[in-house]
Amino acid sequence: MTNFTHFNDDGRAKMVDISNKSETARKAIARSSVQMNRIVYENITQQKIKKGDVLSVAQVAGVMAAKQTSSFIPMCHPIPISGVDLSFEWVYTEKDMYELLIDAEVKTVGNTGVEMEALTAASATALTVYDMCKAVDKGMVIGQTYLLEKSGGKSGDYKR
């Protein structure tokens, strides 16, 4: 079991000790998406959703989620987040279908990375879009969520 960092010698879960890791600038960018029909797309872009400005509320939800990641991901360290930025891009897919791409960038200066915070932010943003629009159409699909890139730390840089 010693090959796994989150297990102790008895095979039980543990939080990895990061006290000996160097503090460096770290950044992670994750992506998620929400696929929807033209009616939902138009309601969002024309500000017709009754719950309010969908993208603004979803953006705030993503920031809040990044800050709370360690509260519900058991082995995640609570870390000081330097910044969270969420961006959106609309893509017309086919046959009156649209996809909202959601990118979440999280930064810190610390001794552990922010990949989980970026993934959590992207996920919560997509979930919030779904929640705010489900009265219009429950058939929306939350797409794959994945890490686009990370920088800093012992393991070096990664780019998908």
115 is in an annotated binding site: no
Q: Say whether 75 counts as a known binding-site residue.
A: yes
Q: Using N-to-C axis directions, what is the helix angle for 54-72 and 115-133, rounded to 10°?
A: 140
Which residues, at least 6 apart from 131, have a Cβ–Cβ distance to it below 8 Å?
Answer: none
Query: Distances from the Cα of 115 to the Cαs of 7, 43, 82, in angstroms?
Result: 20, 32, 14
What is the rounded distance in angstroms from the CA atom of residue 77 to the CA atom of residue 112?
A: 8
Is 64 annotated as ligand-binding? no
Is residue 131 part of the annotated active site? The answer reads: yes
Joined tokens for residue 34: 């929400």
| DSSP of 70-86 | HHHSTTPPP----EEEE
Phi then psi for residue 76, to 5 deg, are -80, 135
User: Which one from 10, 131, 137, 157 is the annotated catalytic residue?
Assistant: 131
Q: Is 133 annotated as a binding residue?
A: no
Cα–Cα distance, 69 to 66 (Å, whole number):
5
Q: Which residue reads 């953006």 in tokens?
A: 59
* Residue set of the binding site for substrate: 75-77, 116-117
Residues noted as catalytic? 131
* Residue set of the binding site: 75-77, 116-117
